[in-house]
Amino acid sequence: MSLLSIFGCGRAKTPEYPADRLSARDGTEFTITFFKHASLAISVGGKYIYVDPVSANADYGALPKADVVLITHSHYDHLDVAAVEKLLAADTEILCDRTSAEAFEMNCYTMHPGSVATPRDYVKVEAVAAYNTTPGHLQFHPREREDCGYVLTIGGTRIYIAGDTEPTPELKALRKIDIAFLPVNQPYTMTVDQAVEAVKALKPAIFYPYHYGEVDEKTDIDRLARELEGVTEVRIRPME
């Protein structure tokens, strides 16, 4: 997939980032843009959903304002209030986990695992518990903190953006996931083997590994892709 700007060709000062254009089940066109690490955007009909915007990952001040902002949890590589403020319009909706909500002075909708919200008529958002399950790693993302991943339904297509998690029972119980973003950096989230396990449970049509790099222990992305040959389409995008 070539590098595309989801924001059009007529704005010389708008930065370009890698992006995939897709069609939802009902024919709705949407675009996923990849900034870096865990920072993404999804655009639908000229509206923009930003996921975990962090200032170091994109020039948010030069990008279109947000219709919706999603925050998965309060770690520095997911929650950046300054980045969110650059994206705010008068009617921007912020959906975030319980701990992240404490960082905002403006109103936001607090999501708990199991919460469902419809911040706009084109997207439904379901919160999924995100936490570690491996002994010795439980302190990174403790279950009781109620970090979130999100399932977005756009035009009948279900997009799971997992946040920082390992293969939890809640993850494995998800059904009809079309596109999955799973975190694969160590020691904080999934190993290659755990990601393979999660993909086989979710059975998405497209799997995007994300949230890797920036740590000493490099993720073997090539092995991950090999392990999933014949299982799903693995799309590697420049997220490091």
200-230: burial string, b at 16+ Cβ within 10 Å, e else: ebbebebbbbbbbeeeeeebebeebbebbee
CB atoms near residue 189 (< 10 Å) = 27
| 170 alpha carbon, distance to own chain's centre | 17
In eight-state DSSP terms, residue 60 is G
Domains of the chain and CATH, by start: 5-9+17-226 (3.60.15.10)
Q: Closest Cα to residue 132, out of 77, 175, 170?
A: 170
Give per-residue pLDDT as tens, 105-150: 888 999 999 999 999 999 999 999 999 999 999 898 899 999 999 9
Cβ proximity of 178 and 206 under 8 Å: yes
Model confidence pLDDT, tens digit, residues 141-189: 899 999 999 999 999 999 999 999 999 999 999 999 999 999 998 888 9
Task: Check residue 215 and give its pLDDT.
Answer: 72
Continuous segment of H or E residues that includes residue 169 = helix 169-172
pTM of the entire predicted model: 0.92
| Average pLDDT in the chain | 92
Residue 72's nearest CA partner among 160, 164, 1 is 164
DSSP 8-state assignment for residue 171: H
Q: What is the DSSP string of 86-125?
A: HH--TT-EEEEEHHHHTT-SS--EEE-TT-EEEEETTEEE
